[in-house]
Amino acid sequence: MTTPIASAARDDFVVTLHSRGILPKDSSEQYEIAFWNSIKDSNYPADYEAYLKAYPNGRFATLAHARIDRLRAAASNAPAVASPARPVAPPNAPAQQAARPAAPASSAAPVARAASTAHPASAAAAAAPAVAAATQSAAARAPAPGESRDCAACPVMISLPAGSFQMGNSNDDPSEKPVHHVTIGAPFAIGKYEVTVEQWNACVAANACAKLTPESNTNKAAPARDLSWDDAQQYVKWLVKLTGKPYRLPTEAEWEYADRGGTATAYWWGDQMRKGNANCKDCGDPWHKEGPEPVGSFPPNPYGLYDMNGGVWEWTADCWHNSYQSAPADGRAWDSPGCDMRVIRGGSWREGGTYMLSATRFKYSAGVRQSQDGFRVVKDLK
């Protein structure tokens, strides 16, 4: 992914690259190159803008400006097309995580744990119209037993029970430690799918949300992306006003609890990476570098939730902390006054399978849009 990176964020990024074995210990000066390499084939102006925000006088600045001009010129001359998925190519995660999935680095942008890719929107629709037509309506289908929807344009919600789980990972990433026991004291409902382009556009039509970046959000059945944490808050406020129900972003603990689906393994499907369970660049078909697949294209986890891993990085309510030391044990949001860096979870279609782990987390600046970032919503049950 791509976004501006503060020096502290860059330092965190380099640590991540080193811990993942992507950069040798003596080559921290290469993070700008790693960032550029993660976006250099992107077809989205926003990714190059993110690079320029991070490195306004960088070695690739001239090329970045040229790419932006070329892509915008091509977009302005392109004929209008029926809404295919808008492709925003996040550089493997935010800028500083060029090596870690497309998650934002310390305060710049999500970086893909090891990947880079773009949005498959239009390519997927063109390649398999029949499949696209079938999956396009996934998020719009009538709720099944145990599911709910508060309005025709609202996300389908799945109710989860209160419960406890072990949060985090004891492996190589310091930010995922220490593993700690968390108790979710009350049931809550969470989106069955990530918020789609079609659902976001309903908010736009109500003049409550900003328009999506057109080139990366052409497929109405794909997850809405290139959205900041602040954008997600606009959508949540609109849902609250529209329905009168307590919608919000999930806390980080709620997100991991939902993602694990009652499992304690590295991935919700087991301890080993297995193709066919997530939308990531080495997770199996369908996959298109241009963007994420329509929601519901892969199997759900044990709780019936789709695309918790892969697709797009998902914003949570929490402020970023470098570890779980002193983290709340009751599942509430861990916030801080004046917080800018927010937690994103789940990886995206541009990252590899190592980013699909249930414990994977990263950060991104709340006000920055990145082509790999989207979200799903939660609703309190009272």
**Contact (Cβ atoms closer than 8 angstroms) between residue 113 and residue 352:** yes
Query: In the prediction, which pLDDT does 78 show?
Result: 54
| For residues 70-91, average pLDDT | 51
Question: Which tokens in the block code for residue 211?
Answer: 């328009």
Query: In the prediction, which pLDDT does 329 show?
Result: 97
- The Cβ of residue 241 has, within 10 Å, a number of other Cβ atoms equal to 11
pLDDT category, 55, cuts 50, 70, 90?
confident
Distance, in Å, from the CA atom of 291 to the CA atom of 123, rounded to the nearest integer, reads 8
pLDDT category, 30, cuts 50, 70, 90?
low
**Contact (Cβ atoms closer than 8 angstroms) between residue 295 and residue 139:** yes
pLDDT category, 366, cuts 50, 70, 90?
very high
Looking at the predicted structure, is the pLDDT value of residue 2 above 50?
A: no
| For residues 291-315, average pLDDT | 97
The residue to which tokens 């891993």 are assigned: 309
| For residues 104-123, average pLDDT | 35
| Across 46-60, 84-98, 188-202, least confident range | 84-98
Rg of the chain's alpha carbons, rounded to an integer?
19
Looking at the predicted structure, is the pLDDT value of residue 320 above 70?
A: yes
Mean pLDDT estimate for the chain: 80
Nearest-CA neighbor of 225 among 270, 292, 158? 292
Query: In the prediction, which pLDDT does 289 show?
Result: 92
Looking at the predicted structure, is the pLDDT value of residue 9 above 50?
A: no
Query: In the prediction, which pLDDT does 207 show?
Result: 96
More confident residue, 220 or 88: 220
Instruction: Please state, for a pLDDT cut of 70, what percent of the chain lies above it.
Output: 75
Nearest-CA neighbor of 345 among 141, 167, 123? 167
CA angle in degrees (0–180, nearest 5) for 257-259-265: 85
Instruction: Please state, for a pLDDT cut of 90, what percent of the chain lies above it.
Output: 58
Looking at the predicted structure, is the pLDDT value of residue 345 above 50?
A: yes
Q: What is the pLDDT of residues 124-182, one digit of tens each?
A: 333 333 344 444 457 777 778 779 999 999 999 999 999 999 999 998 899 999 999 99
pTM of the model: 0.70
Query: In the prediction, which pLDDT does 31 show?
Result: 56
Strand-by-strand arrangement of the 188-191 sheet: 147-148, 157-160, 188-191, 378-380, 247-248
Identify the three-state secondary structure at position 115: coil
Looking at the predicted structure, is the pLDDT value of residue 340 above 80?
A: yes
Looking at the predicted structure, is the pLDDT value of residue 278 above 50?
A: yes
